Amino acid sequence: MYLGHNHSRRRRVAGFVVLILAWSALAQASATLLLEEPYGTLGFFSATGHVAVYLSGVCADTPLTLRQCAAGETGVVISRYDGVNGYDWVAIPLIPYLYAVERPEEVPLFANARMVAFLRDRYRRQYLEQVAPDGKNGEAPGGNWYELVGTSYNRTVYGFEIATTPGQDAALIRRLNSLPNRSHFHTLSRNCADFAKDIINFYYPRSLGRSIVADVGISTPKQMAKRLTKYSEQHPELQFSRIVIAQVPGSLARSTDVRGVVEAFFRSKKYIVPSAVASPIFAGCVAAVYVGTGGTRFEPGRNATVFVLGNDPQAPLDREDLRAHQLELKHLLAGTYPDKKTERSVARAWEKFESKATPALDADGRPVLRIQVDGELVEVGASPDNILSGHAPPELVRELLEARLASELRKRPARGVSEMEVERDWKLLEQSMTENDPAATGRSAPRAENAGGDRP
């Protein structure tokens, strides 16, 4: 939401966001490098991903005009994408950047392509007409504008935060507002990583740079995160911290590990195998560069806390706890379904159902799914706030929550699974079963400590 449009609503939304951004010390400014995993077709050919910068002390009246934040405001994400109406950079508030909505209670529990497209286009029509105007017939335009909103539906994001000052923020605002915001994007010399590098270097000169060896001189997102981590080790006054923002559970393909140029080449069979056949010497040189530059040593999620909407950051689930929850869900499904549905089959069944539903909003602006069931139009709440408040058949509510848990628990601990969110989803599932059948809680598997586990 762009502040200056509606000040009363601004203050109300800011109250929610303060909780969400608890990992940042809002009393002082900070800059967070957002390292985003690759996904989709482009991710198949290039695993370098994307990078942007979140500034807690910089706000925007429009996506193209920056100013310093007032009390209670929480900053913007500034990023560079090619093909956004000719602009070099665009500033988006953090929640819309991650989820294409303005409030935490509007984020869907389980997202598919139709829901994501609906939420993105809704936000675009409200706030991004300047950078992504309607197509000829009023439809959503082409271009890469969609990458600016709802990035967490497609990717897992890693944040690397350092402290800044209001004076530094003010200087950056003057600079970006005074320069022409016209794109000269070039994959090799003016890409997203070059933009992020320039922003961080504006705050701390020569803190980030390219790697001539590991990335053949091309700026890459992973190299920026790696350099910032190393720089912060030498400058403890930056109050460095890490956070992981998990990809939203759903039917969209999961993002993959972010890599540098040589690392992506070496670890991809479609590139390294033909190269080894054609020139073993060349392949050996690539392997030597990969090992020599520490390609295996930098892990973006190491020592990172988990971003949790509406709460303080949480510690990630360890392997033992994740396994306990997976077994619990397996036992629940075995006791609920006579056809022995598995976690994956439950998720796929809901994906098939959801693909036939039409996304919409309820009276409070929260997402819902509308679908014909036995000749009657049914509306199923799709967010934690409204999933139990409607009149949808309880079995549909239960299936949505089962699909959410099944998708959520397939993640690795390092990718952002927290005990708080899993427990919330279990509670919602148990409530949906209780409403459908008061004896349903008896079908729920015992907690891990009563099932032979050692969890406290």
pLDDT in tens, 205-257: 999 997 765 666 788 999 999 999 999 999 999 999 999 999 999 999 999 88
Q: Note whether 101 and 70 are within 8 A (CB).
A: no
Looking at the chain, the whole-number percentage of residues with pLDDT higher than 70 is: 77
Tell me whether residue 352 is exposed, middle or buried, using C-beta atoms within 10 angstroms of its C-beta: 0 to 12, 13 to 18, 19 or more: exposed
Phi/psi of residue 186, nearest 5 degrees: -145, 130
For residues 205 and 397, what is the distance between their CA atoms, to the nearest angstrom? 52
Contact criterion met (CB below 8 Å) for 105 and 383 = yes
**Residue 25 CB partners (closer than 8 Å, separation 6+):** 163, 239
Burial annotation 165-177 (CB, 10 A radius, 16+ → b, else e): eeebbeebbeebe
Strands 241-245 and 305-306: parallel
Q: Does 189 score more than 90 pLDDT?
A: no
pLDDT band at 450 (very low <50, low <70, confident <90, very high): very low
Polymer length in residues for the chain: 456
**What secondary structure does DSSP assign to 54-94, as a single string?**
EETTEEEEETTEEEEPPTT---EEEE--SSSTT-S-EEEEH
Global pTM value: 0.84
Q: Where are the alpha helices (DSSP H) in 247-318?
A: 261-266, 269-278, 280-292
Those residues whose C-beta lies under 8 Å from the C-beta of residue 104, and which sit 6 or more positions away, are 16, 20, 95, 309, 310
Give me the percent of the chain exceeding a pLDDT of 90: 58
Average pLDDT, the chain: 83
Does pLDDT of 169 surpass 50?
yes
Question: By the 8 A CB rule, do 305 and 313 touch?
Answer: yes
> What's the CA gap between 160 and 42, in Å, rounded?
24
Q: What is the pLDDT of residue 13?
A: 41
284 compared with 204, residue with greater pLDDT: 204
pLDDT in tens, 193-215: 999 999 999 999 999 997 765 66
**Which range has the worst mean pLDDT, 38-47, 155-164, 241-250?**
38-47
**Smallest Cα–Cα separation from 396: which of 424, 366, 436?**
436
- Asked if the model's pLDDT at residue 291 lies above 60, the reply is no
Mean pLDDT of 71-97: 94
For the CA atoms of the chain, what is the radius of gyration? 23
Q: Which residue has the higher pLDDT, 42 or 218?
A: 218
